[in-house]
């Protein structure tokens, strides 16, 4: 993939005011009073690769083309040097079709898929572990000044999570600046959208940082490595297998990034401690998000 110095258009940011992504629901609170709240939408999206049905995903419904491409890339059904001739989305049928210049058949592979720890319907295939074992990640660096600027910017940006909750976000960053910010009911969907966006626009992963609001699980590590991104950051915690895989492939894994705090459990050699902590603000309660009370 070619290297770019500036993020390509269109730059993706959350759309908390998009009426298609939430619905107003009336309920009662702890005092018995009526309340109206926004809740995220959850729609089925069926993905076809050429003539073969691959999966039906539950998603908020934005950026279906990027989601489809990213899913296929991260499941090793589509290679980065494959030629995609068309991505066709039908909103009425809730179907997205990815067409390639070569024949594909994943009937045998589809029988081997297993449920992962990702929320909603995240799946991983057995051969993905073998696919990431041979990956050599770039020798990038993570300056703590970038880390603190990045987390502060993300936490204070308008988002669907702050508007309606019950959602995860993933952000692709370069030197602490967000380039692509996606949200969905499952963290796996959010990161797949970023993978599809990177593929469509030829974004070089070598100097990028991936941020997620969710847990640092084996699934998130595998997807990050598949995308060629050397640094994965979360405001939430870790799973043991996620840490083991990250150490195996040399991925920098940083979790529990809240205010001044963070913990790195893999790839610590990439971290450059250039930020004076006296000048870092604690996280505002207004912008506390998933994982604040635990490792969700």
Query: How confident is residue 89, by pLDDT bands cut at 50, 70 and 90?
Result: very high
For 197-222, write each residue's pLDDT tens digit: 999 999 999 999 999 999 999 999 99
| pLDDT for 117 | 42
Distance (Å) of CA 26 to CA 23, 33, 34, 159: 10, 10, 7, 22
Pairing, β 84-90 against β 52-59: unpaired
| pLDDT for 296 | 56
Cα separation, 281 vs 61, in Å, equals 35
For 170-184, write each residue's pLDDT tens digit: 999 999 999 999 999
Cα separation, 43 vs 34, in Å, equals 27
Query: How confident is residue 116, by pLDDT bands cut at 50, 70 and 90?
Result: very low
Q: Compute the Cα dihedral for 74, 77, 81, 87 and give only its sign.
A: negative
For 260-289, write each residue's pLDDT tens digit: 999 999 999 999 999 999 999 887 665 555
Cα separation, 66 vs 60, in Å, equals 13
| pLDDT for 115 | 43
Share of residues in the chain with pLDDT > 70 (%):
84
| pLDDT for 135 | 85
What's the average model confidence in pLDDT over 84-104? Answer: 95
Buried b / exposed e over 244-254, threshold 16 CB at 10 Å, is ebbeebbbbbb
For 5-38, write each residue's pLDDT tens digit: 455 556 898 988 899 999 999 999 999 999 999 9
For 53-87, write each residue's pLDDT tens digit: 999 999 999 999 999 999 999 988 999 899 999 99
């Amino acid at each position: 993939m070619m290297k770019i110095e500036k993020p390509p258009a269109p730059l993706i940011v959350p759309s908390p005011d998009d009426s298609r992504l939430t619905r107003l629901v009336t309920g009662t609170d702890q005092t018995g009073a009526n309340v109206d709240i926004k809740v995220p939408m959850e729609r089925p999206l069926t993905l076809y690769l050429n003539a073969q049905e691959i999966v039906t995903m539950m998603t908020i419904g934005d950026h279906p083309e990027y989601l489809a491409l990213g899913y296929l890339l991260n499941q090793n059904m589509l290679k980065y040097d494959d030629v995609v001739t068309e991505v066709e989305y039908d909103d009425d049928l809730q179907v997205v079709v990815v067409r390639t210049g070569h024949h594909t058949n994943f009937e045998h592979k589809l029988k081997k898929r297993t449920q992962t720890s990702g929320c909603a319907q995240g799946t991983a295939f057995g051969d993905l572990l073998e696919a990431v074992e041979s990956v050599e990640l770039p020798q990038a660096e993570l300056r703590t000044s970038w880390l603190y600027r990045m987390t502060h910017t993300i936490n204070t940006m308008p988002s669907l999570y702050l508007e309606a909750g019950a959602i995860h976000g993933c952000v692709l960053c370069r030197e602490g600046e967000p380039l692509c910010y996606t949200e969905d009911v499952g963290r796996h969907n959010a990161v797949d959208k970023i993978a599809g966006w990177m593929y469509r626009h030829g974004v070089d992963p070598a100097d990028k940082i991936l941020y997620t609001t969710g847990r640092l699980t084996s699934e998130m590590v595998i997807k990050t490595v598949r995308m060629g991104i050397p640094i994965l950051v979360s405001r939430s915690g870790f799973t043991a297998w996620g840490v083991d895989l990250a150490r195996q492939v040399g991925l920098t894994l940083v979790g529990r990034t809240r205010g001044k705090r963070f913990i790195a459990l893999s790839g610590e050699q990439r971290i450059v401690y250039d930020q004076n902590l006296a000048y870092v603000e604690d996280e505002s309660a207004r912008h506390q998000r998933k994982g604040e009370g635990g490792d969700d």
